[in-house]
Amino acid sequence: AMIEAILRNVVILPQQSQAIVIYTGWERHALVGSDIRLSCSFFSWRWTSEDVTFSWTYRPDGSRDSISIFHYTGGAPYVDNKGPFRDRVEFVGNPARRDGSILIKNLEFSDNGTFTCDAKNPPDIVGRPSSVRLLVFEKVPIQAGVITGAIIGVVLGLLVLIVVIYYLMRFLVARRVFSLSVRSVPGLRPAALCQSCLCQGLELKPEPIPGTDTCVAKLA
């Protein structure tokens, strides 16, 4: 009887909800016919709930209305198979890691618009959805092409510079080793080397430089 009285007086308090922060990219660019991944994740102070949910909506450019294209709940993804992304949306996220990303396949020029992701991690359900704008081009934009070309040019320039420095260092090291080896031979002076070796058979006249042990070769 005492236990029943205690249980009657027990008040089950609901868990206090905390804010949830949702992240997506700011703007994505893609080409017609390609695939693109739209990322969505969230931050919550609590462990990832088994009841975590993700929702994606789409608002075309020039329109005020949004349509639902994807929803994840109860451990299962649900894709809109009647709208503009019919058979082109795939869930590629990992809810256990707070990832609600989707993949849009075979992009069309009419897919330009704003995609909004909303996530809930009960009891944390209060949060502002995050949006990413998708721009689909028929070809690479000029600005993107210029940036890409500049990056490639810088990389190639660095590679050429590295190769030049490498061979220059090899030349300087070989020259230094040769100079040391000549000096290490007793009785052999650079001038004698010039007279006995470098100038033979070339019809050159060795002319020593005054005050030094070296010579220059001139035509006889």
- CB 143, CB 86: distance < 8 Å: no
User: What does R_g of the chain's alpha carbons equal in angstroms?
Assistant: 37
Query: And the tokens for 140?
Result: 């690479």
Q: Where are the domains of the chain?
A: 17-141, 189-220
- CB 38, CB 115: distance < 8 Å: yes
pTM of the model: 0.58
pLDDT tens string for the chain (220 positions)? Answer: 555 544 444 444 455 667 899 999 899 999 999 999 999 999 998 899 999 999 999 999 999 999 999 999 999 999 988 889 999 999 999 999 999 999 999 999 999 999 999 999 999 998 999 999 999 998 765 555 567 778 888 888 899 999 999 888 888 888 877 777 666 655 545 544 444 444 444 454 555 555 555 554 454 5
User: Which CATH number fits the domain 17-141, given the four candidates 2.60.40.420, 1.10.10.10, 2.40.10.480, 2.60.40.10?
Assistant: 2.60.40.10
